[in-house]
Amino acid sequence: MPHYIKVSQTASTNTYLSRLAATLPGGTVIYTPSQTAGRGQKGNSWESEDGKNLTFSHLLKQPPVKARDQFYLSEAASLAVVEALTAEAGDGFTVKWPNDVYWHDKKACGMLLENSLDGSDIATCIVGIGINVNQERFVSDAPNPVSLINITGHEHDLMALLKRVCSRIEELVGSLGDDQARQQLHQQYMAALYRNDGLMHPYEDAAGHRFMASVASIAPDGTLTLRHEDGTTHDYLFKEVKHIINNTVL
């Protein structure tokens, strides 16, 4: 079961937890009502109004996957969030590769997983998550944020939502020692994947080239394979390709 530790304010829950990870048990969750410098993928920052959202990091120790299969942890965490937000606000939530959670074309949750390795094993995984919950207005230059209160029109219980997400992360990660459970998790992730509808959608690669493609597959290490309009398939690692939504690169 997760163990929750509240910190009144910190720059980054991931940074805070990483400093203490060696002394804390697996399942520890550091959460704060005031995160001043939250970190996201690609060095992005995370805007969060004090006391309105969930900003937390969840410590996993020696999860039952090899380093080469670490993307299963990302799948588990993102699906836990999708399930929790769907329970709160209904359908429309998907996972934008690798692990952002979207409501239609708007971003409801950002995630950053940081692993430390012990040979071919994962010693620790810190799952940092920011979920927009009760913040009504966003003032940063983020192009497409959305919160639960924007969707439902009412406030949500932060602690109840935190416990729902973290308990589900523990359940899904705990199942990963079983091959059948891994396959089922991956199938659920693909079913929840943003724009995984067989249609062509716009992307931009690291060189700034824009193209149309559909999702072909995602490997256990997180590599995304896209099928281009000419029928060829191309593999992309994190940061090598981005979605284009309403002519904005995300």
Closest of 100, 104, 245, 75 to residue 169, by C-alpha: 75
- Taking the alpha carbons of 249, 15, 155, 193 in that order, is the dihedral positive or negative? positive
Q: How many whole angstroms separate alpha carbon 205 and alpha carbon 166?
A: 34
Mean pLDDT of 184-197: 98
The 10 Å Cβ neighbour count of residue 206 is 11
State the pLDDT at residue 48. 81
Q: What is the pLDDT of residues 61-82, one digit of tens each?
A: 999 999 999 999 999 999 999 9
Specify the CATH architecture of the domain 3-191: 2-Layer Sandwich (3.30)
State the pLDDT at residue 161. 98
Helix-, strand-, coil-residue percentages of the chain, each rounded to 5: 30, 35, 35
Q: What is the pLDDT of residues 215-240, one digit of tens each?
A: 999 999 999 999 999 999 999 999 99
Question: What is the topology classification, in CATH, of domain 201-249?
Answer: SH3 type barrels. (2.30.30)
The answer on pLDDT for 104 being more than 70 is yes
Residue 40 amino acid letter: G
Q: What is the pLDDT of residues 130-161, one digit of tens each?
A: 999 999 999 888 889 999 999 999 999 999 99
State the pLDDT at residue 46. 65
State the pLDDT at residue 212. 98
The answer on pLDDT for 31 being more than 80 is yes
State the pLDDT at residue 39. 58
Q: Please, where in the chain does CATH 2.30.30 lie?
A: 201-249
The answer on pLDDT for 100 being more than 80 is yes
Confidence class for position 47, pLDDT limits 50, 70, 90: confident
The burial class, CB within 10 Å (0-12 / 13-18 / 19+), for 209 is exposed
Q: How many whole angstroms separate alpha carbon 41 and alpha carbon 241?
A: 13
Phi, psi of 177 (to 5 degrees): -75, -10
Q: How many helices (H) and strands (E) does the chain have?
A: 5, 15
State the pLDDT at residue 44. 55
Q: To the nearest whole number, what is the mean pLDDT of the chain?
A: 95
Q: Name the strands in the sheet holding 100-103, side by side, starting at the edge strand that comes first in the sequence.
A: 3-6, 28-32, 54-61, 121-131, 106-118, 100-103, 93-96
In the chain, DSSP assigns E strands to 3-6, 28-32, 38-39, 45-46, 54-61, 93-96, 100-103, 106-118, 121-131, 201-205, 210-218, 224-228, 233-236, 241-245, 248-249
Bigger pLDDT: 200 vs 142: 200
The answer on pLDDT for 58 being more than 90 is yes
Q: How far is CA 189 from the centre of its chain?
A: 12
Closest of 29, 123, 129, 39 to residue 77, by C-alpha: 129
Please tell me whether residue 59 adopts helix, strand or coil conformation.
strand
- Concatenating the DSSP letter of every residue in 209-220 gives -EEEEEEEEE-T
pLDDT cut 90: percent of the chain above it: 91
State the pLDDT at residue 37. 78
State the pLDDT at residue 40. 53
Q: Please, where in the chain does CATH 3.30.930.10 lie?
A: 3-191
Residue 111 amino acid letter: M
